[in-house]
Amino acid sequence: MTRIETDICIIGAGSGGLSVAAGAAQMGAKVVLLEGHKMGGDCLNYGCVPSKALLAAGHKAHETSVSAFGIAGHAPEADFAAAKDHVQGVIETIAPVDSQDRFEGFGVHVIREFGHFISEREVQAGDHVITARRFVIATGSRPFVPPIPGLETVPHFTNETIFDLRARPAHLIIIGGGPIGMEMAQAHRRLGSEVTVLEGMTALGRDDPQAAAIVLEKLRAEGIGIVENAQVSQVAGTGSGIRVTTEDGRGFDGSHLLVAVGRKLNVDKLGLEAGNVAHTRRGVEVDAGLRSTSNRRVYAVGDAAGGLQFTHVAGYHAGVIIRPMLFGLPAKARTDHIPWATYTDPELAQVGLTEAEARERHGDRLEVARFPYHENDRAIATGRTTGFVKVMVVKGKPVGATIVGAQAGELIQIWALAIANRLKMSAVAGMVAPYPTLGEINKRAAGAYFSPRLFENPWVKRVVRLVQRF
């Protein structure tokens, strides 16, 4: 058994773990990084990167099929296996950024073994025992597979395996109508598969219902079957594929099955009891600074910290814990400025409070500023006029923003910036956006907040008339 002493021991080489490792090592700390599976974690290998690559292939096929701008569309010849080659090529292109070689170049001691606590100050990984001043749990999550009767006997996919499928599914049934399910539904439909989505409650239910409705309408228009309030009760194999039965007795037949109903945290094999690390099924119990409430040597980031499950949250958490671990400075994690996006076409993005959440929290103090895509010149020129932006405003400051439409994931960033820095609506209204860009939609939404104050205020008109006398 090899014993190692270090400043920081990180368990997990996904977004959060890699960010901590790179920052800490380059600033002089001794760092050991443990990873028993693939460097880069879920996002690079099974999540964000491959899903966006497959969506891009589907988007290319869809654009080819649509007649627009005087250009005749035609049925695309989609090579499903070649699309998967594109996905793999994207992963391979990005992989060196997350590779063992790169992090060893930073001075990180990388050990390719799973780690687990054997005491409050020790973690074992293979035949190594690491004693550290600080530990970081950055183990992420994996697909949750619900205990549906019959599912264990039927071949099925999750986001960890669907990208290995080389033959196009004739009819893909997806259990789960959240972001993963909807993104995969549109990608596969545009690449030639029949697709049916079964959602036990409301599809895209965590998002603003007005915005979600626009996305769902577009997906249905493309031929995707979306069945809501469809709790699955049984799965069984058939001679030609699979049958999924819902609680109300309806049966849905398909050739392939994708399960996309949520995530399960990767904390069950970490020996947290041995490390005196308090936890629940939601994750490690941490304080506002992401530090364990029971073992003060331990921090948790990303999914393991029990909050929002997004890659960029893990990266943000890494920046938060670097301050106390390396410099002894206080730091607290926030959630009000965290954006997220679903990369369907149209895209759906959110930061801060939804309108319903803002009304519940702020009541009559809430004002909602809106602006539609169809009044934006760039959207008109490019034929991307579906969608809107709405901003929830309290006392002149945005507390949330919802965008549905082209490049919503890009456009939401200015509202994330405003909320993160507690800027007023005047800061966005005062921005000069290049013309013509979709970015003008945000400026116009900010302008819509001020319009009633300027154009419907009788005192403004009186002042203007007075000034004109001189």
Statement to judge: residues 276 and 138 lie in one domain:
yes
pLDDT of residue 336: 95
Note whether residue 190 is domain-resident: yes
Sign, CA torsion 219/220/225/229: positive
Statement to judge: residues 136 and 270 lie in one domain:
yes
Buried b (16+ CB within 10 A) or exposed e, 336-345: ebbbbbbbbb
- Give tens-digit pLDDT for 349-397: 999 999 999 999 999 999 999 999 999 999 999 999 999 999 999 999 9
Statement to judge: residues 272 and 354 lie in one domain:
no
Query: Alpha-carbon distance 85 to 80, whole Å?
Result: 9
Note whether residue 67 is domain-resident: no
Question: Is 177 labeled as ligand-binding?
Answer: yes
Question: Is 141 labeled as ligand-binding?
Answer: yes
Statement to judge: residues 106 and 130 lie in one domain:
yes
Listed residues 286, 304, 327: the one ending a domain: 327
Question: Is 150 labeled as ligand-binding?
Answer: no
Statement to judge: residues 306 and 418 lie in one domain:
no
Listed residues 241, 261, 281: the one ending a domain: 261
DSSP string, 404-461: EETTHHHHTHHHHHHHHTT--HHHHHT----SS-TTHHHHHHHHHHHHHHHHS-HHHH
pLDDT of residue 455: 66
Domains identified in the chain, total number = 3
Statement to judge: residues 274 and 389 lie in one domain:
no
DSSP string, 163-174: GG--SPPSEEEE
pLDDT of residue 123: 98
Whether 144 contacts 230, CB under 8 Å: no
CATH (domain of 310): 3.50.50.60
Statement to judge: residues 217 and 132 lie in one domain:
no
Question: Is 139 labeled as ligand-binding?
Answer: yes
Question: Is 115 labeled as ligand-binding?
Answer: yes
Question: Is 179 labeled as ligand-binding?
Answer: yes
Question: Is 199 labeled as ligand-binding?
Answer: yes
Note whether residue 56 is domain-resident: no
Note whether residue 334 is domain-resident: no
Question: Is 303 labeled as ligand-binding?
Answer: yes
Note whether residue 236 is domain-resident: yes
Note whether residue 33 is domain-resident: yes
Whether 338 contacts 351, CB under 8 Å: yes
Tokens linked to 50:
């491959």
Statement to judge: residues 195 and 236 lie in one domain:
yes
The stretches in the chain having pLDDT less than 70 are 454-455, 457, 460
Statement to judge: residues 238 and 212 lie in one domain:
yes
Question: Is 12 labeled as ligand-binding?
Answer: no
Note whether residue 445 is domain-resident: yes
Statement to judge: residues 17 and 112 lie in one domain:
yes
Listed residues 239, 261, 283: the one ending a domain: 261
Domain that residue 156 falls in: 151-261
Note whether residue 54 is domain-resident: no
Statement to judge: residues 218 and 108 lie in one domain:
no
Statement to judge: residues 393 and 419 lie in one domain:
yes
CATH (domain of 402): 3.30.390.30
Question: Is 253 labeled as ligand-binding?
Answer: no
Question: Is 201 labeled as ligand-binding?
Answer: no
